[in-house]
Structure 1
């Protein structure tokens, strides 16, 4: 199985790079500067970690070096629980990505993969037309948080009777940290975030990391996937993604919280784009359909020449 093989692959390098006065943690699987562009993996959240995407490392066995990193504020990178909303900006994470590319000396030859929040971040990065970017993968990602919020309302309305009432009662009372809210939240997550039972340990690792230090997630997103009250609530890339010049692969799941309406602007606006929908998946097709995911990713990388 792809996921087992990926977990058994030892990184060829790992460590941290300085980012101003902070540190960004990274790991490399395969060999950089091998004649093929590195696949750089930007995780979701914001405020999650690389763990849920670690099985992309299996692509190194096919000849593409893979770079995972933890964005500042979580995982192995510098944690800053005392920083407020004025610090946690989209530009901060764009600057961190640029810094990582330069520090690893791959800014002149790379492919960028972004999942969920990492997908909208990757799209914003690509819209600036960086010279070394060879291809882009936007996986399970919104193009517009206002559209995302609208779609969350629609998905919530289709939950089993009483579930959304419970969620709204706690949201109104400010008790989203209660056990009853968590149980109701899990109903949504099991439908639209990860449909596997039990959740894979690499996904659980990411989920627990978010809640071990929720500073970034709560500040930029909000308390849950379907209640976006943070600084990203009105953020969108629909004004700039037509500027993306590289071949782009869209990925989403049939049951994804990143619904068709959420992903559609990428399809409509990016000039060179194709869209793969995973019929048995929700928000993490790399875990829910790992064999097909690997095949789709490998075919895309080969198509870049």
Structure 2
């Protein structure tokens, strides 16, 4: 955790509010780092370790995307309210209100990586660099690979999962326990899970509005509005230096990540051999060094 002072608050976003946390002073010696968390419908908690980058001269901005954590919750919003454009607009609003347009780097994890790629593809002038961590290039690719990973689970586990998915009983204890077999293999292989990851996990279950509407009941059963969405058609427009990160045991398998590597002009791909979906927690020292090396390249 960074020793640098932090500031927390809320930013107006239309009639709503976005919770944010700034670690380090603005402007800093280097560009500000804006962390885009996963989900959709997750929170910043599991990425809080990125705040340590402020000790190296990079101010860090965390925020909770609309609908979760400290931001405005909208449990009665219709599923169609939750769109990628909504969250891209929220990101633009945050950049403007915090005065970050002169120089910033996006670090997007999982869904946040897809969001960051979509933002970067529009070539915003202040963007200095991009990190796409553990993010598929599209949900159709993700679903194809989920079938492969589910087929490799211990005997009987996928049968339990499918039975509940077909019956619509994914809120059952049996489904949760079978789901955890997958999560402990391909989402976070640490035991026990770090406190900050547990906090994020519980936040989703405390208010699953966004996650259920856009994703579905689990990482591998995507039946929400994102099931056909992806960024493959736009990432070739990304002009900034891009760091691509994935774990050897990641639910975001190499096949889901490869389009970024093949299509983004200036890209480097780092695979973390002892990690799944959360290398920043599973291999934190190497992750920090790889990230710092990339930030130096971004200026």
Q: Which TM-score applies when normalising by structure 1?
A: 0.97
Paired residue secondary structure (1:136)? strand
Quote the RMSD (CA, aligned, Å). Answer: 0.8
Q: For 1:35-54, list aligned pairs within 5 A.
A: 35-54=29-48
Equivalent-residue separation in structure 2 for 1:23 and 1:221 (angstroms): 23
1:210 is matched with 204
2:155 is matched with 161
Q: For 1:136-155, list aligned pairs within 5 A.
A: 136-155=130-149
Q: For 1:75-154, list aligned pairs within 5 A.
A: 75-154=69-148
Equivalent-residue separation in structure 2 for 1:287 and 1:11 (angstroms): 22
Equivalent-residue separation in structure 1 for 2:110 and 2:5 (angstroms): 24
Deviation at 1:34, TM superposition (A): 2.3
* 8 Å CA contact 2:4, 2:54 repeated in 1: no
Of 199, 216, 220, which residue of structure 1 is paired with 2:214?
220
Deviation at 1:56, TM superposition (A): 0.6
1:71 aligns with 2:68: no
Equivalent-residue separation in structure 1 for 2:142 and 2:8 (angstroms): 35
* 8 Å CA contact 2:29, 2:58 repeated in 1: no
Equivalent-residue separation in structure 1 for 2:36 and 2:259 (angstroms): 20
Deviation at 1:101, TM superposition (A): 0.3
Paired residue secondary structure (1:233)? helix
Which aligned runs of 4 or more in structure 1 are off by greater than 4 angstroms? none
1:271 aligns with 2:265: yes
Deviation at 1:84, TM superposition (A): 1.1
1:180 aligns with 2:195: no
* 8 Å CA contact 1:11, 1:27 repeated in 2: no
Deviation at 1:304, TM superposition (A): 1.7
1:298 aligns with 2:292: yes
Equivalent-residue separation in structure 1 for 2:202 and 2:3 (angstroms): 23
Paired residue secondary structure (2:80)? coil
2:21 is matched with 27
* 8 Å CA contact 1:120, 1:142 repeated in 2: yes
* 8 Å CA contact 1:52, 1:202 repeated in 2: yes
Q: Which TM-score applies when normalising by structure 2?
A: 0.99
Deviation at 1:103, TM superposition (A): 0.4
Q: Deviations over 1:32-63 (max 9, x none)?
A: 11242100000000000000100011111111
Equivalent-residue separation in structure 2 for 1:164 and 1:288 (angstroms): 26
Of 9, 30, 33, which residue of structure 2 is paired with 1:15?
9
Paired residue secondary structure (1:74)? coil
Q: Which runs of 5+ in 1 are unaligned?
A: 1-5
1:283 is matched with 277
Deviation at 1:9, TM superposition (A): 3.6
Equivalent-residue separation in structure 1 for 2:101 and 2:13 (angstroms): 16
* 8 Å CA contact 2:102, 2:126 repeated in 1: yes
Paired residue secondary structure (1:73)? coil
Equivalent-residue separation in structure 2 for 1:263 and 1:200 (angstroms): 25
Q: Which runs of 5+ in 2 are unaligned?
A: none
The aligned length equals 299
Equivalent-residue separation in structure 1 for 2:219 and 2:45 (angstroms): 18
